[in-house]
Chains A and B, each alone.
Chain A
Amino acid sequence: MNPREVTVGIGVIGIGVRGRHAHEHLLAEHPAAKVRAVAQYPNVTPELLEGRGRDSWEKHAARFSVKLTDDYREVLARDDVHVISLMTEPSLTAKYVEEAAAAGKHIFLDKPMATTMEDSERIVRAVEASGVTLMVAFNYRYAFPYREMKRRIDAGEIGDLRIVSVDVCLNKGPLPEFTASESYRNAFGGGEVANFGCYAADLLLWLTGSQPRSVFATMATRFYEDYRATGMEDIGQISVKMENGAIGNILTGRTTTQSPWPIEAVEVVGTRGFLRATPNCTFRIEGKQVLETAYGTNRVQWMAFDFIDAVLEGRPSPVSEHDGLAAVQLIAAAYGSAETGEPIYL
């Protein structure tokens, strides 16, 4: 294939929600990809737009040298669009995945995949029925230290996996211009445990390659008044027992705390050694340091390229709808546990 030839057309559905981030500009960096259509979806939960409207959507479309499409269904109908970069509120993703999959489009979907298990199962069914490729944007998997961990775990270098501890906590909060609301919570299926905890959940599930059997969680609202007013948590910790016997420990949230480093760390302990990335790596196996490296790659870019490559090569999705569902399941169990004060058995 001539890499200069555009073979993957990207259609965008959803602009400026989910903290105003997007993936299409990263997908379009791929030499074989181009954004061909951009549309907003109807009836966006107003609070998610944070005051922005049509002007900003048009500007977003203009970044890709296209005009804003009024109706997202026109994007789905285009023959030169092969991939949908979907950025809708999680409570609505199932509907748009169903429509996109029925139109034969591959889907790049932000996390969390959905707010409920029912919606997650709808997504799995829709993708399986259509045979398209869906990828969930769990970009932490593409951070070099974690990929390297996964490779060494799968190669058996640290022996049997016993403990996986994952911190995914943003600091220096709050998110600018964001105000917590009942609508936001409903649209996202929770607070920061849903928002960032799903990254931690995915890392835990991916690294262990196992299923959760028991989940216990505590959550609290300690940093933001607007979160407190809507009963939305900003910090939580989750204890997981995996089917393969491994124990998972998760800390997640969005803190106000000042610190030059992110509260992001993964530590994996096996019977022969441990791997820790904070995100700088300390990998020790049988008493010897095997790797120490800086945290350098742009994981989000790498993820976007891997998706386009998977579509071009007809590879299975690197992070599939089943992975998305597993993370939704773990996070739902965490909420269930925090609410009841009891462990949830899956």
Chain B
Amino acid sequence: MGRIGVAVIGAGGENIATGCHLPALKHVPEMELRLLHDVNEEGVRRTAQTYGVDWTTNFEDVLTRDDIDLVQICSPDPFHASQSVAALDAGKHVLCQKPLALSVEELESMSVAAVRSEGQFQGCQHRRYEAWARASHAAIQRGDIGEPVYGRFQVKGRFYPYPQDSFYRTAESGGQFVHNGMHYVDVLCYLMDTLPVEVFARSARHYPTADRLESDNYLSCMTKMENGAQAWIELNLMMVDPPLTPAEERVIIIGTQGTLRLGNEDNPNFEAFTPGGSVRTRVNPLIHVANPFVLQFREFAHTILTGRPNAIPFHFSARVMETCLAAVESAGTGEPVKLRDWLERGVQ
């Protein structure tokens, strides 16, 4: 294989495909954008003109074209699982936007496809490629804070202003923790090098204005991790302010020897307090650094081209996704939910 031929699904409007994936692909020399897909013909044609590539409204075209090696799935959430399965079954590699699935059954079907396919699969868990996350990960791997035993990711703000007829406003979407929760859970699991085994969550709702979703907009999710650590993820979108989407994010990792903390409110800081001293940077993690999409795409390209191990194996992403689904389930039933071991299902 020379360059990896890429098709991007969902490229017909202003969204994560056109806002993040396509711009990032320009900086990924291992990949070549060849085809865009969307059911919105006018939109996808316009995007294709901008990028000078082919377009289609027929997903089958993506599967049958031999020059497409990697399918980047940025379609609306309900299509992620079925399109991933179809692409994997067609022997394609897949990079799928979050959420990977809207149910555990969908995740199951993806795991079966991932096992039988020659294609590699990755979830778009790009937030772990942000500068602060990579710096934190490196510090933890070096042993700067000892063993991480507690992790926390708190998000506060308002929900993204979806159009009134948006799927993401409906209860069927699973709510904002299904749609976005993967990022927060993934970053904690990546930093702490472990996965949740059990989830307990509570949810609530308060919409400060007349504009609202059908689902709860607050979720507090406590987890027990495989290695005995604990974690807490809180997504609070009930706020009048901060008025941004997303708004305030705070991360703390407590280790046996030190603590890492990031806060993007006030002065964005990344701080590490270790027995060897403290490190404090005042770099806004969201600017002045390499694009996290580019970093994930390039790392995935090397896996595809050289057979290097997949940096975000399917079993890892599946557990992260299942954590989000389980959190919503737990908030509904009031009972803790135990998670599956996807590795046992033969999925790497």
The answer to whether A binds B is: yes
Residues of chain A at the chain B interface (Cβ within 8 Å): 160, 162-163, 165, 169, 171, 214, 216, 218, 220, 222-223, 235-237, 239, 241, 245, 247, 249, 251, 255-260, 263, 269, 271-274, 282, 284, 286-287, 341-343
Contacts of B230 in A (CB 8 A): 218, 220, 235-237
Of all chain A residues, which has the CB nearest B145?
Answer: A257
Contacts of A273 in B (CB 8 A): 240-241
Contacts of B274 in A (CB 8 A): 258
Contacts of A282 in B (CB 8 A): 265
Most-contacted residue by chain B among A216, A260, A263 (CB, 10 A) = A216
Q: Are A216 and B222 in contact, CB atoms less than 8 angstroms apart? A: yes
Q: Are B238 and A162 in contact, CB atoms less than 8 angstroms apart? A: yes
Q: Does B258 contact A (CB under 8 A)?
A: yes
Q: Does B59 contact A (CB under 8 A)?
A: no
Q: Are B254 and A263 in contact, CB atoms less than 8 angstroms apart? A: yes
Q: Are B224 and A258 in contact, CB atoms less than 8 angstroms apart? A: no
Complex: A220 Cα to B224 Cα, angstroms: 9
Residues of chain B at the chain A interface (Cβ within 8 Å): 145-147, 149-150, 152, 156, 198, 200, 202, 204, 206, 208, 218, 220, 222, 224, 228-230, 232, 234, 236, 238-241, 243, 252, 254-259, 261, 265, 273-275, 278, 334-336
A343 touching B335 in the complex, CB below 8 Å, given contacts A162-B238, A165-B234, A247-B218: yes
Q: Are B222 and A218 in contact, CB atoms less than 8 angstroms apart? A: yes
Contacts of B229 in A (CB 8 A): 220, 222
Of all chain B residues, which has the CB nearest A216?
Answer: B200
Complex: A343 Cα to B243 Cα, angstroms: 35
Contacts of B275 in A (CB 8 A): 258
Q: Are A286 and B220 in contact, CB atoms less than 8 angstroms apart? A: no
Q: Are B238 and A287 in contact, CB atoms less than 8 angstroms apart? A: no
Complex: A236 Cα to B156 Cα, angstroms: 23
Complex: A308 Cα to B156 Cα, angstroms: 42
Other than the known A163-B204, A216-B336, what 9 A-B pairs have Cβ atoms closer than 8 Å?
A214-B334, A235-B230, A255-B150, A259-B261, A263-B259, A272-B208, A272-B240, A273-B240, A343-B335
Contacts of B238 in A (CB 8 A): 162, 269, 271
Contacts of B261 in A (CB 8 A): 259
Q: Are B232 and A249 in contact, CB atoms less than 8 angstroms apart? A: yes
Complex: A341 Cα to B224 Cα, angstroms: 11
Contacts of A163 in B (CB 8 A): 204, 218, 220, 236
Contacts of B208 in A (CB 8 A): 271-272
What are 15 residue pairs bridging A and B, where the CB atoms are less than 8 Å apart in the complex? A163-B218, A216-B222, A216-B336, A218-B200, A222-B228, A236-B230, A247-B220, A251-B152, A257-B257, A258-B275, A259-B261, A260-B273, A263-B259, A272-B208, A286-B240
Complex: A65 Cα to B204 Cα, angstroms: 57
Complex: A171 Cα to B220 Cα, angstroms: 24
Contacts of B265 in A (CB 8 A): 282
Q: Are B228 and A220 in contact, CB atoms less than 8 angstroms apart? A: yes
Minimum CB–CB distance for B333 against chain A, Å: 10
Complex: A216 Cα to B228 Cα, angstroms: 17
Q: Are B218 and A162 in contact, CB atoms less than 8 angstroms apart? A: yes
Contacts of A255 in B (CB 8 A): 149-150, 254, 256
Contacts of A263 in B (CB 8 A): 252, 254, 259
Of all chain B residues, which has the CB nearest A292?
Answer: B266
- Which of B152, B222, B255 is A257 in contact with, Cβ under 8 Å? B255
Contacts of A247 in B (CB 8 A): 202, 204, 218, 220
Complex: A255 Cα to B254 Cα, angstroms: 8
Contacts of A259 in B (CB 8 A): 258-259, 261, 273
A258 touching B257 in the complex, CB below 8 Å, given contacts A249-B220, A343-B334: yes
Complex: A148 Cα to B206 Cα, angstroms: 24
Q: Are A239 and B220 in contact, CB atoms less than 8 angstroms apart? A: yes
Q: Are A287 and B241 in contact, CB atoms less than 8 angstroms apart? A: yes
Contacts of A220 in B (CB 8 A): 149, 228-230
Of all chain B residues, which has the CB nearest A159?
Answer: B206
Complex: A165 Cα to B252 Cα, angstroms: 15
Most-contacted residue by chain B among A169, A222, A251, A284 (CB, 10 A) = A222
Contacts of A271 in B (CB 8 A): 206, 208, 238
Minimum CB–CB distance for B107 against chain A, Å: 24
Minimum CB–CB distance for A257 against chain B, Å: 5
Minimum CB–CB distance for B206 against chain A, Å: 5
